[in-house]
Amino acid sequence: MTIPPAQVGMRVEEVDTPALIVDLDAYERNLDRMVSSLGGSSVRLRPHAKTHKCPIITHHQVSRGAVGACCQKVGEAEVLIADGVRDVLVTNQIVTPGKIARLVALAKKAVVSVCVDDAENVRDLDAAAGPVGVRLPVLVEVDIGPHRCGVDPGEPAVALAKLVDSSRHLRFAGLHAYHGKAQHIYALEDRINAMEAAIGLTAETIRLLKEAGLECEVVTGGGTGTYQIEAASGVFNEVQPGSYIFMDVDYKRVEGFPSTFENALFVIATVMSRGKEHAVCDAGLKASSIDSGLPTVWDRPGLAYLKPSDEHGSLRSTDSTPLPRIGDRIWLVPGHVDPTVNLYDWFVCVRGGYVEAMWPILARGALR
């Protein structure tokens, strides 16, 4: 890990840049908003840790009622479980012998479940779970529209579920039905329409499974952009939003209930050069991901962040706003939260102008 950019008790102005800042008040309001938005419903909250990769944050979520966490990688699950998280769903296919061995070893230490979309993979998981003495809960992933992973809904999903159910060391736990593409459909009506079709496919698969004598204990899906739609469907009993804790430029464009969450994550940067028409700050491509669009400048209307290169970001005035001066600090809202977080070792957590906590991003780089 790199040297922390700040120490607890420092004034925010003293934090070295670029650094990843969490506005604790906004973050805590986001945590609470998620809980109250699900209030009164029996739908369980299992937030995705791919957003933050930080066990401290999962503990905050669990202390507010989440049943556990989702992870995308075995390495992320290892970090969370080593830090005391008791229930982790790996929302992914784990296929190589080494990773499968690590997965079943984890299932000795905590409740660990995993997704499948292939018969050979089911047989490999079963073969690995037996000698370790675990009965691994397995969810069949169904492709309800995004065409990423997942078996087709309906009969193909039922056939795979039957194979899981007949495997001695596996337990059929239900369906994983996540529509990644729908999360960022900006118009609420279009998003609802996309999810209506997806929820229909999920419901029909559940019906066919029931006919085959298989009950779904868990039906899980839903990110920040759609979780309220799954939660209200009567079909899903678990949702797995991640980005809501921090938000980003792209998610703020998503109309409807996601917009109730606040920006709580920022990259702070320092201006290090100034020309006639632009200024240059110390946050470029290695400080903020641009796969979903450029960062925006927080609280400085009239100032745009443009043309990042590896270690440089250009700032231009879009009206008559004066350019910032050398040494000025600017706060950027990342275009996309998850890959930005993965660039840092530390969250610098601030409240009232001071650094209140430093949280290590322990699963940063846990890509395996």
Ligand X SMILES: Cc1ncc(COP(=O)(O)O)c(C=O)c1O
Q: What is the DSSP letter of 12?
A: G
The correct pick among 48, 52, 99, 191 for binding ligand X (CB under 6 A) is: 48
Q: Is 150 one of the binding residues for ligand X (CB under 6 A)?
A: no
* C-alpha count within 13 angstroms, C-beta hemisphere, residue 214: 28
Contact range with ligand X by CB under 6 A, out of 47-55, 99-107, 151-159, 322-330: 47-55
CB of 157 to ligand X, least distance (A): 17
Buried b (16+ CB within 10 A) or exposed e, 196-234: eebbebbbebbebbeeeebebebbbbbbbbbbbbbbebe
Q: Which residues contact 237 (CB under 8 A, 6 or more apart)?
A: 42, 43, 44, 218, 219, 220
Question: What is the chain's Cα-based Rg?
Answer: 22
Pairing of strands 279-281, 313-317: antiparallel
C-alpha distances out from residue 174 to 85, 214, 244, 335, Å: 22, 9, 25, 34
The correct pick among 4, 75, 156, 180 for binding ligand X (CB under 6 A) is: 180
Q: What is the DSSP letter of 350?
A: E
User: If binding means CB under 6 A, how many residues of this protein chain bind ligand X?
Assistant: 15
The correct pick among 17, 61, 183, 289 for binding ligand X (CB under 6 A) is: 183
Residue type, 322: P
Nearer to ligand X (CB atom), residue 167 or residue 224: 224
CB of 180 to ligand X, least distance (A): 5
Query: Minimal CA–CA distance to 20: which of 363, 367, 355, 365?
Result: 355
Provide the mask over 53-82, with x wherever binding to ligand X is found by CB under 6 A and - wherever it is not. Answer: -----------------x------------
Contact range with ligand X by CB under 6 A, out of 1-9, 44-52, 165-173, 345-353: 44-52
User: Which residue's CB atom is positioned nearest to ligand X?
Assistant: 223
Contact range with ligand X by CB under 6 A, out of 125-133, 177-185, 198-206, 359-367: 177-185
Provide the mask over 87-126, with x wherever binding to ligand X is found by CB under 6 A and - wherever it is not. Answer: ----x-----------------------------------
**How many C-beta atoms lie closer than 10 Å to residue 344's C-beta?**
20
Nearer to ligand X (CB atom), residue 4 or residue 180: 180
CB of 47 to ligand X, least distance (A): 8
Token duo for residue 179: 């529509």
Cβ 288 vs Cβ 342: under 8 Å: no
Nearer to ligand X (CB atom), residue 58 or residue 224: 224
Nearer to ligand X (CB atom), residue 183 or residue 296: 183
Q: Which residues contact 313 (CB under 8 A, 6 or more apart)?
A: 269, 280, 281, 282, 283, 284, 287, 288, 295, 305, 306, 307, 332
CB of 224 to ligand X, least distance (A): 3
3 state SS of 262: coil
Nearer to ligand X (CB atom), residue 257 or residue 324: 257
- Binders of ligand X among 199-258, rule CB under 6 A? 223-225, 240-243
CB of 221 to ligand X, least distance (A): 7
CA dihedral 115, 117, 118, 123 (to 10 degrees): 20
Nearer to ligand X (CB atom), residue 55 or residue 225: 225
Task: Give me the residues that bind ligand X (CB under 6 A), please.
Answer: 48, 50-51, 70, 91, 178, 180, 183, 223-225, 240-243
